[in-house]
Amino acid sequence: IAGITQAPTSQILAAGRRMTLRCTQDMRHNAMYWYRQDLGLGLRLIHYSNTAGTTGKGEVPDGYSVSRANTDDFPLTLASAVPSQTSVYFCASSDSIELNEQFFGPGTRLTVL
Amino acid sequence: GQNIDQPTEMTATEGAIVQINCTYQTSGFNGLFWYQQHAGEAPTFLSYNVLDGLEEKGRFSSFLSRSKGYSYLLLKELQMKDSASYLCAVASNDYKLSFGAGTTVTVRA
């Protein structure tokens, strides 16, 4: 692994289903983030983690949950998907929340029908 | 809340110069970032300004005026590969980034 990876690349999901988007980084970065990107709205922060074991809510956290059991992994879970969660999801990481040059993963394109 | 404004689209000719403006109103300020995003790809870091003035990095320069809540990204000697979206982002008091909607730059031959 080099950098930050996400899986799956894309997914079509029925409304009401549970879905976990995976994110892994090998840069030993302390801070990790989840964003969604929608046309005309730019990137919006869903959840973040300053360091392993801690998480926080971003601008649009409703309907999403995260966990940070270790430094490398930061999965995002949609407990019961709704069509408004159709979006492109980007995971990012930075050395720390204060040193904020963020490195982005390739994204997951999610469609909820 | 955070408010970050940038133009939606700009078009320029290969070899020319384009300036993308960004104005912001945020809860505190801990730096302004510019990212480049090609269609279907992830954003990549271009520049970071935390003090007033101009930061130059090759063909790209970024300027910041904190008192005016204003920044611009200057792209010189435009190349076709510079066709992309350019995202302005501001780190607020809690260091979290708020992004503008992005400016799509199209470079024509």
Strands (E), chain A: 4-7, 10-13, 19-25, 31-38, 42-49, 56-57, 64-66, 76-78, 87-94, 103-104, 108-112
**β B32-37/B44-49 pair status:** antiparallel
Of B20, B96, B104, which to mutate for an interface test with A (greatest number of A Cβ within 10 Å)? Answer: B96
Mean pLDDT of A41-54: 95
pLDDT averaged per 10 residues in sequence order, chain B, 109 residues: 90 97 92 96 96 95 97 98 97 90 97
Chain B, 36 to 95: residues with Cβ < 8 Å from chain A are 41-45, 48, 87, 89, 91, 94-95
Cα angle A32-B74-B12, degrees, rounded to a multiple of 5: 110
C-alpha closest to that of A4 among A98, A100, A90 = A90
Check residue B1 and give its pLDDT. Answer: 59
Cα angle A45-B31-B54, degrees, rounded to a multiple of 5: 135
Tokens encoding A9? 């690349």
Check residue A1 and give its pLDDT. Answer: 53
Cα angle B31-A61-A56, degrees, rounded to a multiple of 5: 60
Check residue B93 and give its pLDDT. Answer: 84
Contact A104 B33 (CB under 8 A): no
Contact A33, A48 (CB under 8 A): yes
Count other C-beta atoms under 10 Å from residue A21's C-beta: 22
